[in-house]
Structure 1
């Protein structure tokens, strides 16, 4: 087992490592090495998942349970999902992997000069964000995890989220083989977000690539991603860098850190907001444009429309406080012929060339940040 990969820092992830770390971790590595503002961390590889799975000796029973769901058996997806998750939570972690993960976490703590550094532990399955399907949101993320023991526990919890009722049903619908899906895990320094959300480098309502659409709300972005919070919405023009649309939504609650005295590490919880925050914008104009430029830089780097997660980190100084948490290819309009690309009038052609330079579309040379 000595030649097995356990964990790799984001800034050391080479292209040959990408199949071992899943789409999310590979993207974090790519962005980190491209100089984008990504909080540091490391990827726990699928080798760890595979070795723990093998060591458990439980796979014949798990496959038997899946046969009942996939075939003519009467077992419900919910029942099978619950049984399999319980088994996965109990998988033993081979000692060589456990010791290396503990060392990697200790190194990250030292790098950030914080004992028991709070981290996000995020699932990074090998089929996430594939061209023919998006598994975004199907697997679990755990925020504000402190200490090596807690990190190891949440790594197993991420593995177990491969087998939620929702994830199993999704794979059945998409025709993915349960046995061929592996799970890597991203362990990343937490940000302390004043505001967070998502951004698309096109308008998701119509696929127009001349704009960048931003959804934002107070606190952690999980409220926006899960649909629990109705976010503010902004549309930024990619050429003129003007804010062409503002929709300020009532934000009655947010996902924030809670110090409840039950543990040394705070937890993230749903908290009512004071009246003075409910109807005011969650971003300044300067922050809106900083997020838009960051999203545009990610789109240029990858050469295709992106769906990004971002945060405004209260621990960083103004002007350097917008950080990129995740980027993945946009999967809805990218499958269609965009309306802007289909227009033949002169003005539309000029705009399309400005927004999507020929060299970027052809991939002849890398695009530079805006």
Structure 2
């Protein structure tokens, strides 16, 4: 994809360098890194943070937003929700600068000359997916977006989602400036997923890095990522690449692409398919190998979003949609050597002295 005529507002994922990543936000930078590492990722482009930053300079907009933000009582849930909605409406009702809108339209039309390619429009904030300040998932994603008009609309809606109540509270708690966090937006070819989910390269229950844990469901992965459904669960031993545990649940609905309606729909799963596993054992291992590879390439435990694309042939249909650093167990500090030694000696002494203590 060529973006030579889109100046500094648009950048194709496959053209990004490490120097571009700060302007791409967490999600887009991750997509660019995966493509550079040879991982199969749906094609697309980033609307860079420069576009959002310039949009904020629309006459009167920054001052209005600052005043609206300052009036929020974050300890009052109802007040915060009401004012957050007003902020989002202010953003969504403000036209984009003409040259930025033109750049977005041109980039989409390069992907889709017929102006009908379904894409996912995904938020990618600059403070997203950081090990010490991760608010991945707090901003919006729009699926099965078609046509340049809708792409432009949903890019602006992604910017507005920076100001949902949850994100505002998170930034207050973590002392992140409300107008200092910038956003890039990913515009990415839509995946027609027959199964999708997440894979973690450690056990999220106990931090065991010898395991890969996979959650999977039929259809698109958003219900799995958001926690809306109970997914199938698989545990894979990381060295031998063997499935050691599987839990198959009854799945009564799936989020799928409806080509006739040109949108995603929540579809009831036919009874005979509800108790079937969403992945074969071979597919489980394939997902585990992808996750293990990403952990090795990125240098730390990963939380990977993936999908199996029904439009691609077997063996080529597993794609990565996101890979971010795992942020719970990775932040737990290992005990120092001196502390470990102390605890060991104390444990030995405790065992030796316990009979004496019992006699006193």
Aligned partner of 2:188 in structure 1 is 188
Question: In the TM superposition, what is the alpha-carbon distance from 1:285 to its structure 2 partner?
Answer: 1.1
Question: In the TM superposition, what is the alpha-carbon distance from 1:108 to its structure 2 partner?
Answer: 1.5
Question: In the TM superposition, what is the alpha-carbon distance from 1:75 to its structure 2 partner?
Answer: 8.5
Show CA shifts across 1:264-299 (max 9, x none). xx2112221111121110001111111101111110
Question: In the TM superposition, what is the alpha-carbon distance from 1:52 to its structure 2 partner?
Answer: 1.2
Distance 1:337-1:234 versus aligned 2 partners, 3 A rule: farther
**Partner of 1:98: helix, strand, or coil?**
helix
Contact residue 67 and residue 73 of structure 1 kept, 8 A: no
C-alpha separation in 2, matches of 1:76 and 1:132: 28
C-alpha separation in 1, matches of 2:260 and 2:189: 22
C-alpha separation in 2, matches of 1:197 and 1:320: 17
CA RMSD, 1 decimal: 2.1
Aligned partner of 1:36 in structure 2 is 39
Contact residue 208 and residue 338 of structure 1 kept, 8 A: no
Show CA shifts across 1:32-85 (max 9, x none). 111100010000001111111111422112111211226999981112101100
Aligned partner of 1:281 in structure 2 is 277
Question: In the TM superposition, what is the alpha-carbon distance from 1:173 to its structure 2 partner?
Answer: 2.0
**2:14 matches 1:11:** yes
Aligned partner of 1:359 in structure 2 is none
**Partner of 1:179: helix, strand, or coil?**
coil
The worse-fitting range, judged by mean Cα deviation, of 206-215 and 84-93 is: 84-93
**2:227 matches 1:227:** yes
Aligned positions, number: 332
Question: In the TM superposition, what is the alpha-carbon distance from 1:3 to its structure 2 partner?
Answer: 10
C-alpha separation in 2, matches of 1:153 and 1:32: 27
Distance 1:102-1:202 versus aligned 2 partners, 3 A rule: same
Distance 1:136-1:71 versus aligned 2 partners, 3 A rule: closer
Aligned partner of 1:81 in structure 2 is 84
Equivalent residues in 2 for 1:336-355, closer than 5 Å: 336-337=332-333
Q: Give the unaligned 5+ runs of structure 1.
A: 345-370
Distance 1:259-1:116 versus aligned 2 partners, 3 A rule: closer
Aligned partner of 1:201 in structure 2 is 201
C-alpha separation in 2, matches of 1:58 and 1:277: 51
Aligned partner of 1:307 in structure 2 is 303
**Partner of 1:180: helix, strand, or coil?**
coil
Contact residue 68 and residue 74 of structure 1 kept, 8 A: no
**2:107 matches 1:101:** no
> How does the TM-score come out when normalised to structure 1?
0.86
Aligned partner of 2:159 in structure 1 is 159
Question: In the TM superposition, what is the alpha-carbon distance from 1:260 to its structure 2 partner?
Answer: 6.5
Q: Give the unaligned 5+ runs of structure 2.
A: 341-360
Aligned partner of 2:357 in structure 1 is none
Question: In the TM superposition, what is the alpha-carbon distance from 1:258 to its structure 2 partner?
Answer: 3.3
C-alpha separation in 2, matches of 1:62 and 1:320: 46
C-alpha separation in 2, matches of 1:71 and 1:148: 37
**2:246 matches 1:243:** no
C-alpha separation in 2, matches of 1:172 and 1:103: 37
**Partner of 1:121: helix, strand, or coil?**
strand
Distance 1:32-1:46 versus aligned 2 partners, 3 A rule: same
The worse-fitting range, judged by mean Cα deviation, of 329-338 and 208-217 is: 329-338
Question: In the TM superposition, what is the alpha-carbon distance from 1:9 to its structure 2 partner?
Answer: 0.3
**Partner of 2:321: helix, strand, or coil?**
strand
> How does the TM-score come out when normalised to structure 2?
0.88
C-alpha separation in 1, matches of 2:202 and 2:33: 22
Aligned partner of 1:323 in structure 2 is 319
**2:56 matches 1:53:** yes
Distance 1:56-1:122 versus aligned 2 partners, 3 A rule: farther
C-alpha separation in 1, matches of 2:126 and 2:14: 19
**Partner of 2:41: helix, strand, or coil?**
coil
The worse-fitting range, judged by mean Cα deviation, of 98-107 and 135-144 is: 98-107
C-alpha separation in 2, matches of 1:140 and 1:305: 25
